[in-house]
Amino acid sequence: MARFVKVGSLILVVLIIVYSFAVTHPSNALSHKACTSWEMIKDKSFMLTHSGSKAYKVNKLPAGFEVKPGTAKEVPVLMYHYITPKADNKEPGNKSVINLEAFEENMEYLHDEGYYTATLQELEKYVLGEISLPEKSIVITFDDGYQNNYAYAYPILKKYGFHAVIFMIGSKIEKQTVLFDPNKKSSLSRAEIEASRDVFEYHSHTFGLHEKGFPKCGQSKSLALNTTLLQKDIKKIKAAGIDTPYLAYPYGEVSTQMLYYLKQNGYRMAFTVRQDFVKPGAPLMKLPRLTVTSVTNLPELLEHKITPKEAMDLNSL
């Protein structure tokens, strides 16, 4: 108890210092800094008052863990969203839209190189150090659940015997299948989800929180950061049939509080949009991915000849 009082008074003192500094030195950068410090303090006090919340940020590998020779040292988790033939692509500058031709080339390359497309359950065990994966392993993911993932990606993935993941926005699932129109941003229907389970596994991208509107330090962030909304949303996505321990954060945005409530509700692994490869021992609730655009040179990215940031640079378009 005495320790909490001590920490509490320390937080109060830091708060007063931060605020008096911000008030006496008003500038945008400074008030932003004050807000960020305030967020850090809130995080710290949340961790102190919610037991175990700090533990969600670490992943301890088994004692003496080593990557076995000839097995995967890292696993790239590729991130795609919307697929459209180049001729129909009205947004060539949008990183979330990839030309079908480029996607096809990506898949052909992975197949020719003998890549193994892992499931999320395998990835989870791999990150925990419980299993090894083939040296050339990869996870293919799609966010949002567009109908074109079924119309365009599914046949290609099936042809190569590949497995992939779709992070579905629950509220967007169509009750009735609509006729596919390449010029419309339509979503997958319940029947299409069922029909494509031989290739895709479906997980959460929240039910209805894929929207901005949560104010944080002068910015509008993902609504999923509102933990009251989040807790209701978790029930909704489960009721929509996506009852899963895996999730992709809308816009990749996550907070300590959000992470805590997800863990409390059975989520064990989640993905951001931080650009990196996944390695054993990585914090499971904050796994990075690699954005693949129409101009990404996938072989160079996977061989580390270019950085993930360079790989998604659309300036060359």
Binding site for Zn ion (CB under 5 A): 143-144
Cβ–Cβ < 8 Å for 178, 118? no
80 CB-side CA count, 13 A: 30
Nearer to Zn ion, 144 or 192 (CB): 144
The CB-of-145 to Zn ion minimum distance in angstroms stands at: 9
The CB-of-273 to Zn ion minimum distance in angstroms stands at: 9
The CB-of-80 to Zn ion minimum distance in angstroms stands at: 11
Nearer to Zn ion, 143 or 233 (CB): 143
Cβ–Cβ < 8 Å for 188, 166? yes
Nearer to Zn ion, 115 or 150 (CB): 150
CA distances (Å), 309 to each of 63, 123, 140, in order? 34, 23, 18
The CB-of-218 to Zn ion minimum distance in angstroms stands at: 23
Nearer to Zn ion, 144 or 253 (CB): 144
Angle in degrees, CA 37, 220, 208, rounded to 5:
120
Token pair 């990215």 is found at 301
Residue 284 backbone phi and psi in degrees, to 5 = -60, -30
The CB-of-159 to Zn ion minimum distance in angstroms stands at: 26
Nearer to Zn ion, 142 or 260 (CB): 142
DSSP E strand stretches across the chain: 77-80, 82-84, 97-99, 116-117, 137-144, 164-168, 200-204, 212-216, 219-222, 246-248, 269-275, 287-291
Q: Is 267 helix (H, G, I), strand (E, B) or coil?
A: coil
Nearer to Zn ion, 81 or 163 (CB): 81
Q: How far apart are CA 96 and CA 180, in angstroms?
A: 19
The CB-of-153 to Zn ion minimum distance in angstroms stands at: 16
Nearer to Zn ion, 107 or 169 (CB): 169
β-pair type (212-216, 219-222):
antiparallel
Q: Residue 168's Cα: distance from chain center in Å?
A: 12
Residue of minimal CB distance from Zn ion?
Answer: 143
Token pair 């925990």 is found at 128
The CB-of-144 to Zn ion minimum distance in angstroms stands at: 5
